[in-house]
Every structure is written in C-alpha cells, then in structure tokens.
Amino acid sequence: MSADGPKTLRELRGTESQFKLAVRVGLSPSTIAGIEQGRHEPKVHAAIRIAQAFMVRVEDIAWPEVAELEKHRENRKKDQPAA
C-alpha cells in the first residue's frame, strides 16, 4: 500500500488527527500510524472501515495506485471520440 491513502484523505478532509480517526473507525492510533507510514498493510476490515469513514472506495485506501489507474482509464475513455 502507498503510505498516502488515509493520511492524504485526513489532510484533504481537514485536520482530523490519527487519534480521532482511530476512534471513529474502531482501530488503534498505532494501527492508523502504521498504515499511513507504510509499515503495515491494512487488513480488509480496517480498509473497509477507513473507506466508509471517508466515503470513498476501499481501493482508494488499500490500493491508491489501482484507483489512480482506474481514473486514468476513465479519463481516456472520455477523451475518445464517440463511434
């Protein structure tokens, strides 16, 4: 996992601390820190909880690289002329 997932979302959504996010999703602050720092891969349940908290897809949390690739593909489809 990219270390950017939850941290980037926290920064984009405001100044929510790791502690506040941890309480909101039912994980420990050290788990949130480990995910953000790239020391831990989020388990499925953790990725789901974090994604739900930010109202994004699980891929955006657990695999941001895949989410970016999907966005790129969607943009390419929009740029192609209609058949």
3-state SS record for the chain: CCCCHHHHHHHHHCCCCHHHHHHHHCCCHHHHHHHHCCCCCCCHHHHHHHHHHHCCCHHHHHCHHHHHHHHHHHHHHHHCCCC
Single-letter residue type at 43: K
- Domain residues for the domain of 32 are 5-79
Q: What pLDDT does residue 2 have?
A: 45
- pLDDT value at position 23? 92
What's the maximum distance between 2 C-alpha atoms anywhere in the chain?
52
Total tally of structural domains belonging to the chain: 1
Q: Which two tokens stand for residue 21?
A: 């996010």
Whether the pTM exceeds 0.75: the reply is: no
What is the chain's pLDDT, residue by residue, as a tens digit (83 residues)?
444 566 777 776 676 888 998 998 999 999 988 888 888 888 889 889 988 988 888 877 776 666 566 666 777 777 777 65
> What phi, psi does 62 have (nearest 5°)?
-80, -35
Q: What is the pLDDT of residue 76?
A: 72
CATH number at residue 75: 1.10.260.40
